Amino acid sequence: MEQYYDLTPLLNLIHTWLCGWMPEWLALTLEGIVVGVFILIMYAVLAIILIYMERKVCAAFQCRIGPNRVGGKGGLLQVPADVIKILTKEIITLKNADRFLYNLAPFLVILASILTFSCLPWNKGGEILHMNIGIFFVLAASSIGVLGILLAGWSSNSKYTLIGAVRSGAMIISYELSIGICVLTMVVLSGTMDIQAIVANQADGWNLFKGHIIAIAAFIIYLIAGNAEANRGPFDLAEAEQELTAGYHTEYSGMHFGFFYLAEYLNLFITAGIATTLFLGGWMPLHISGLDGFNQVMDFIPGVVWFVGKTFAVVFLLMWIRWTFPRLRIDQVLTLEWKYLMPVSLVVLLLMTVCKVFGLVF
């Protein structure tokens, strides 16, 4: 049924058409440029949507209205206006900073974010980077981000940023373990590292349901660790505005700061997107066995809508957590990971492997 919305034939058609009147290398280059620009635009648009959503969601939690002036009743143009403002702001340079690393750091952060972003399976045939070790690539690419954060904190030559960077380094490196193990659990369940194949495997049921309680445990651990990876509350101690003013990006201004800000929001989306892919069936529609009419209706909703819808549901969940909990302390964060999450996730991995070997999963 999802065949209606499969993008592969259309993309192949375009490719063949282009190759018809230009050499293949040129066609590939052109396609690459178009896709690259498309990713960047998507990235910016999604960031604007997410920032707007965050403002409205947190306003709702905080008994406020949120943006409501710029651009009519809903304040829809508030975020675009902010984007224009930040684009025109001066980028200050620090006197005693390591100039090269200071300027490089935001780009590393945004690079990691965009690379990971490109791997998300938007639709059937709608992936941008496709490789048979896709999920492994996601883990590898997302690790570059912490390098940017460490460099930003170190090169600013400020005590506050340094403390923020060291906190962030300690935290992100720790939580990557849990994320890796949770992802591995799902790889064991699916039997593949290919992102599209993981999604395709969930045509007969989402991994969250296939893997019983083990998958649910992995999902919860993933959400906690993913929240930490995205540097968001209650794990936002790298920024900890009440302690370190703005943590590792205290000394950045203008669009350099904007890159950190963008990356933070997109990392939230990516975390949620990977959670959707691994646990919630990616772009697969919701099916309930026995209700054929219902299932058919669901099939008519395009995959991209399913994917974005599920992802935003997870994003909302993460926002809910952020706006409810106070911040953890660095030693508590590390205790949580090394004493609880990591051992539990190892047990989850072991159980999942046993279940898979003995065919105890659906």
CB 120 within 8 A of CB 277: yes
Please report whether residue 2 would count as binding another protein according to CB under 8 A: no
Residue 262 C-beta: closest distance to another protein, Å? 21
With 0-12 / 13-18 / 19 or more C-beta atoms within 10 angstroms meaning exposed / middle / buried, residue 345 is: buried
Residues of this chain, 177-216, that bind another protein according to CB under 8 A: none
Distance CA 327, CA 223 (A): 16
Q: To 10 degrees, what angle do helices 159-190 and 134-142 make?
A: 170
What residues from 64 to 93 belong to the interface with another protein (CB under 8 A)?
Answer: 64
Let me know the angle formed at the C-alpha of 120 by 118 and 123, rounded to the nearest 5 degrees: 115
Report how far residue 320's alpha carbon sits from residue 312's, in angstroms, rounded to the nearest whole number: 12
State the number of binding residues for another protein (CB under 8 A): 29
Nearer residue to another protein within complex by CB, 296 or 332 = 332
Instruction: Supply the minimum distance, in Å, between the C-beta of residue 240 and another protein.
Output: 7
CB closer to another protein, 98 vs 243: 243
**331 near another protein (CB under 8 A):** yes
Judged by CB, which is closer to another protein: 56, or 210?
Answer: 56
Distances (CA, A) of 218 to 116, 137, 180, 215, 355: 21, 20, 11, 5, 14
Separation of alpha carbons 228 and 146, rounded Å: 12
Site string for another protein, 48-67 (x = CB under 8 A): ----------x--xxxx---
CA distance 105 to 86: 18
Q: Which is nearer to another protein, 40 or 92 (CB)?
A: 92
- Complex with another protein: residue 168 or 202, whichever CB lies closer: 168
In the list 99, 324, 340, 343, the residue contacting another protein (rule: CB under 8 A) is: 324
Shortest approach of another protein to residue 150 CB, angstroms? 16
126 Cβ contact list (under 8 Å, min separation 6): 7, 283, 303, 304
Contacting residues toward another protein, per CB under 8 A: 58, 61-64, 159-160, 163, 167, 233-234, 236-237, 240-245, 323-332
